[in-house]
Amino acid sequence: MSAGWHKVRDWFRHDPRGKWVGLALIGIALAVLPFALEASVGRTWVRIVDLALLYTMLALGLNIVVGFAGLLDLGYIAFYAVGAYSYALLASPHFGVHLPWWLLLPMGAVLAAFFGVVLGAPTLRLRGDYLAIVTLGFGEIIRIFLNNLNAPINITNGPQGVNLIDPVAVEGVSFGKTNTLLGIAFPGTHLHYYLFLLLAVLVMFVCIRLEDSRIGRAWVAIREDEIAAQAMGINTRNIKLLAFAMGATFGGVAGGLFSSLQGFVSPESFAVWESITVLCMVVLGGMGHVAGVALGALLLATLPELLRHTAGPLQQQLLGKVILDPESLRMLLFGLALILVMLLRPAGLWPSPTRRRELTSARAPGAI
């Protein structure tokens, strides 16, 4: 690399003006991203990025439970379902209730947190495999309830799901259709993108702050050695329940946003496979490292889609016909990628900097 490049890099990293310019550039790039995507590869991709941002929130929420506190939760998607359904039922013709989104999103968060505590409380004494099995069961229970609560009283509309959900609307601007602001046409997917981006960044911010705090340290202490943590005065019951509740909160918010984006929810969106996918994002990205987990979520949410859109045409072009169905190829490569990452980078693609600090510790005598 040339000296000129280093000069530029150092300016962005260390010069206060450089930092602001860097942030502004990133901000502009993120702001024009949906338009660039639509112009180059089509609106489908804006939607894929929207979903990727939702997965980022989910993965960051699960990271609190699995990555920070070390509680293996295989039913995390249940909280996504709680958020999605609480939004859907109270903002659709199903009950004829149309509450505003700014009430429903916090409500979904609180309700999910409540479920986090309710489902977490019976598992407090369990660890490892046993905890995983019980949470797996809880996740399925929620989905099965949603699937069957259409009789005797129709609450969830069963497997048909809830349709015609009101999208988020700010000052009369509905995110469900294209709006023209300042002479620029913003389709609904674009507006959702900005909202999701804002909330994903907020969730990241909250996670980073929590990690470096009294609570974050207590979570990690429980992960490292629960008995020692208790012997150091940590109320392990409360701190574990707090982890379940915080993780579930983010899941609940993401669920409400999902309802707004899709306009339709049904139980099949919350199958156990979804829990596994989110867990894969956490593990692959770098368990316990906020930026790594966000990266893992973005990659795992977009790469399979990229493959789906390119594998077919590529085979057609090279071989004249489609030999491997893109859908099955996707799963095949997904599995292969997971195995490779676990073999080559067992701590994840972008693990926590603690591992790096380990190498430099000898040269930092007594410094705080």
Partner 1 sequence: MPLLEARKIRKSFGGLQALSEVSLAIEPGEIYGLIGPNGAGKTTLFNVLTGLYKPDAGAVVFNGIELTGKKPNLVVEAGVARTFQNIRLFANMTAMENVMVGRHLRARAGALGAVLRDRATLAEEAAIRRRAHELLEYVGVARHAHALAKNLAYGDQRRLEIARALATDPKLLALDEPAAGMNATETASLRGLLEQIRADGITILLIEHDVKLVMGLCDRVAVLDYGKKIAEGAPAKVQCDPAVIEAYLGGALP
Euclidean distance between CA atoms 225 and 254, whole angstroms: 31
Cβ nearer to partner 1, comparing 46 with 72? 72
**CB of residue 168 to partner 1, shortest distance in Å:** 23
Q: Contact at 8 Å (CB) between 54 and 83?
A: no
Euclidean distance between CA atoms 327 and 311, whole angstroms: 9
Residues making contact with partner 1 (CB under 8 A): 205-206, 209-210, 213-218, 220-221, 224-225, 227-236, 242, 246, 354, 357-358, 360-362, 364-368
**CB of residue 243 to partner 1, shortest distance in Å:** 10
Cβ nearer to partner 1, comparing 229 with 279? 229
**CB of residue 254 to partner 1, shortest distance in Å:** 18
Cβ nearer to partner 1, comparing 172 with 366? 366
Q: Contact at 8 Å (CB) between 266 and 88?
A: no
Cβ nearer to partner 1, comparing 180 with 360? 360
Cβ nearer to partner 1, comparing 224 with 327? 224
**CB of residue 302 to partner 1, shortest distance in Å:** 29
- The encoded tokens of residue 186 equal 């913003």
Q: Which helix (H) or strand (E) holds 115?
A: helix 101-120
- The encoded tokens of residue 133 equal 């099995």
- The encoded tokens of residue 110 equal 């609180």
- The answer for 225, left when phi > 0, alpha when psi is -120 to 50, beta otherwise, is beta
Q: What is the CA radius of gyration of the chain?
A: 22
Only one residue has tokens 């430099």, namely 360
- The encoded tokens of residue 63 equal 């990271």
Q: Contact at 8 Å (CB) between 54 and 258?
A: yes
Among candidate residues 61, 56, 90, 54, the one with its CA nearest the CA of residue 75: 61
**CB of residue 81 to partner 1, shortest distance in Å:** 24
**CB of residue 74 to partner 1, shortest distance in Å:** 23
Among candidate residues 353, 60, 68, the one with its CA nearest the CA of residue 229: 68
**CB of residue 65 to partner 1, shortest distance in Å:** 14
Half-sphere exposure of 291 (CA within 13 A, CB side): 4
Euclidean distance between CA atoms 60 and 122, whole angstroms: 23
Residue 250 CA, chain-centre distance (Å), reads: 8
Cβ nearer to partner 1, comparing 215 with 272? 215
Cβ nearer to partner 1, comparing 1 with 367? 367
Cβ nearer to partner 1, comparing 221 with 298? 221
**CB of residue 210 to partner 1, shortest distance in Å:** 5
